[in-house]
């Protein structure tokens, strides 16, 4: 059914909903969950910085911690998981990983404004560029 599912990750309520739904889908189908977090261009590592100090001079960035937490949670639920930190805007990052992983489904969170869901910029961009079905939750 769904062998490769891609989900966008950020510190937002919509992203958390998408991650929960992606866990449910991938546990039912037994495939691989690809968790994608976009890195703004300002987080690009300085050229002199060794690779073990990823993304910032201070060490691990918020992106690293987020991906680590989600990977740990997914692995704890017996889900095969791969994480991807991509230097691009969120819509491009998600679509890029979806294409590279031959995704069957991309799951993204809807935006929200004052408690009401709305179709935000990222879901729109993913729907326009992803090479597979997109579920907005």
pLDDT digits (tens, 9 = 90+) for 106-124: 999 987 655 666 788 899 9
Pairing of strands 80-87, 111-113: unpaired
What is each CA distance from 45 to 8, 39, 56, 57, in whole angstroms? Answer: 22, 11, 6, 8
pLDDT digits (tens, 9 = 90+) for 13-28: 889 999 999 999 999 9
Measured from the Cβ of residue 44, the count of other Cβ atoms closer than 10 Å reads 11
Higher pLDDT among residues 117 and 137, named by residue = 137
Higher pLDDT among residues 81 and 52, named by residue = 81
Total residues belonging to the chain: 137
CATH of the structural domain 4-136, one choice from 3.20.20.60, 3.40.50.1000, 1.20.58.100, 3.40.50.620 = 3.40.50.620
CA distance 132 to 103: 7
CA distance 43 to 12: 19
pLDDT digits (tens, 9 = 90+) for 69-118: 999 999 999 999 999 999 889 999 999 999 999 999 999 998 765 566 67
């Amino acid at each position: 059914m769904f062998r490769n599912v891609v989900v966008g990750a950020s510190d937002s309520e919509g992203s958390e909903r998408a991650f929960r739904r992606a866990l449910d889908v991938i546990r039912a189908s037994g495939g691989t969950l690809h968790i994608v977090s976009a890195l703004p261009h300002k987080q690009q590592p300085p050229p002199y910085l060794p690779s073990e100090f990823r993304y910032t001079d201070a060490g691990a960035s918020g992106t690293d911690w987020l991906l680590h937490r989600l990977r740990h949670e997914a692995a704890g639920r017996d889900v095969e998981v791969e994480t991807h930190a991509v230097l691009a805007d969120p819509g491009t990052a998600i679509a890029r990983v979806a294409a590279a992983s031959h995704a069957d489904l991309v799951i993204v969170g809807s935006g929200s404004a004052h408690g009401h869901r709305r179709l935000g910029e990222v879901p729109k961009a993913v729907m326009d560029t992803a090479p597979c079905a997109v579920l907005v939750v």
